[in-house]
């Protein structure tokens, strides 16, 4: 056993100095011995078959994090090998495979999601390397693995779904009643805030100012988000009536307000226990409603423009995919998948959005 580990250490470059004792674990058909080496590496020796496996960094560290021999992956069945692209490394296990690169770290793929990814070319396919382990989507009762250029989901009712990108687009507004301002027309605009999985991914975009009359319908198209479903957890929509303020400053204040609200909801997001952060956001906002974000926006605003209203759409990945596959609805001249409720702070308006595959 010790001789087998030492022989493997001499065979594989980098395994110079043991850093821990030899451990023994019973496995099917014998015992598995393991020893850690310098540089966060390990060697496994299977007795009585005499097979040995050298697991390199950072795959070994992630394997340990997942539970090593006690995890669903089981024991290693190959050494860590450099892939032909020169970028990645691979180690095979009984119930899955781990890949690593300098930019993505080490992550496992397994089961139907792993099979679909390999069918599409694995790391040399257009999805690229995995950027997460497979996660349980508690909010949608599914599973997901994220990759460099898309996600793969699995739900019992939908099966395995490969989603490279979605777009969320502003599609226009309808005016049902003007404000009581003295001017002949309202001058309205929409600020759409994508609530992403972290502070830097929570960003706002502002649409141009419309001159509107009661009964007017104003179709439009503006992409407010484009990327994988795992990059957006909700859409916060604020409509405003331009008066004396600077709409671009107003947009920045709204973005700051949404970020502040999400800081306040961090515990609620964590308490959902979901795999993807964006699904936790969607579930927390579905429970909390628009109130926390609307209140934070109102507190953050220091502008001469008037708020018409704020609405929030929780957008978990399964919801996004379902919307993208649904037929468009129509109200007046505007086609849409999502419509705000009637916003009546100043006048009465609705804003509309759709979801498409990118």
CA distance 167 to 288: 25
SS3 for 267-334 is HHHHHCCCCCHHHHHHHHHHHHCCHHHHHHHHHHCCCCCEEEEEEEEECCHHHHHHHHCCCCEEECCE
183-228 pLDDT, tens digit each: 568 899 999 999 999 999 999 999 988 888 889 999 999 999 999 9
98-154 pLDDT, tens digit each: 999 999 999 999 999 999 999 999 999 999 999 999 998 866 789 999 999 999 999
In this prediction, residue 301 has a pLDDT band, given cuts at 50, 70 and 90, of: confident
Q: So what's the pLDDT on residue 220?
A: 97
- At residue 180, does pLDDT exceed 80? no
31-77 pLDDT, tens digit each: 999 999 999 999 999 999 999 999 999 999 999 999 999 999 999 99
Average pLDDT over residues 311-316: 96
Dihedral sign for Cα atoms in the order 277, 40, 10, 25: negative
Mean pLDDT, rounded, of the chain: 93
Q: So what's the pLDDT on residue 184?
A: 62
Domains parsed from the chain with CATH numbers: 1-109 (no CATH), 114-164 (no CATH), 166-357 (2.60.40.150)
DSSP state of 1: -
CA distance 133 to 206: 36
In this prediction, residue 275 has a pLDDT band, given cuts at 50, 70 and 90, of: confident
Whether the model pTM is above 0.85: yes
For the chain, helix (H) and strand (E) counts, in that order, are 8, 23
DSSP state of 208: P
Contact 73, 65 (CB under 8 A): no
Average pLDDT over residues 271-294: 91
- At residue 181, does pLDDT exceed 70? no
Q: So what's the pLDDT on residue 272?
A: 87
């Amino acid at each position: 056993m010790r001789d087998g580990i030492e022989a493997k250490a001499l065979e594989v470059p980098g395994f110079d100095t043991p850093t821990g004792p030899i451990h023994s674990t019973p496995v099917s058909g014998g015992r598995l011995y393991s020893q850690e080496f310098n540089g966060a590496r390990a060697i496994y020796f299977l007795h009585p078959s005499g097979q040995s496996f050298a697991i390199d960094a950072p795959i070994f560290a992630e394997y340990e994090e997942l539970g090593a021999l006690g995890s669903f992956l089981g024991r290693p069945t190959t050494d860590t090998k450099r892939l032909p692209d020169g970028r990645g490394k691979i180690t095979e296990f009984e119930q899955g495979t781990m890949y690593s690169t300098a930019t993505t770290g080490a992550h496992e793929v397994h089961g139907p999601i792993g099979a679909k990814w390999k069918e599409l070319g694995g790391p040399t396919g257009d999805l690229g390397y995995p950027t997460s382990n497979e996660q349980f989507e508690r909010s949608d009762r599914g599973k997901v693995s994220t990759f460099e250029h898309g996600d793969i989901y699995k739900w019992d009712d939908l099966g395995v779904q490969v989603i490279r990108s979605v777009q969320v687009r502003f599609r226009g507004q309808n005016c049902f009643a003007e404000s009581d301002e003295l001017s002949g027309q309202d001058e309205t605009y929409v600020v759409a805030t994508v609530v992403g999985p972290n502070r830097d991914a929570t960003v706002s975009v502002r649409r141009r100012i419309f001159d509107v009359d009661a009964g007017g319908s104003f179709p439009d198209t503006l992409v407010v988000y484009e990327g994988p479903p795992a990059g957006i957890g909700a859409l916060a929509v604020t409509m405003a009536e331009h008066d004396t303020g600077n709409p671009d400053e107003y947009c920045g204040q709204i973005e700051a307000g949404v970020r502040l609200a999400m800081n306040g909801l961090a515990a609620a997001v964590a308490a959902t226990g979901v795999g993807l952060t964006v699904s936790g956001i969607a579930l927390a906002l579905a429970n909390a409603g628009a109130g926390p974000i609307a209140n934070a926006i109102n507190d953050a605003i220091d502008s001469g423009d008037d708020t018409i209203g704020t609405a929030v759409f929780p957008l978990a990945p399964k919801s996004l995919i379902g919307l993208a596959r649904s037929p468009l609805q129509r109200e007046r001249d505007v086609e849409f998948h999502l419509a705000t409720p009637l916003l009546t702070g100043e006048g009465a308006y609705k804003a509309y959005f759709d979801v498409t595959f990118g």
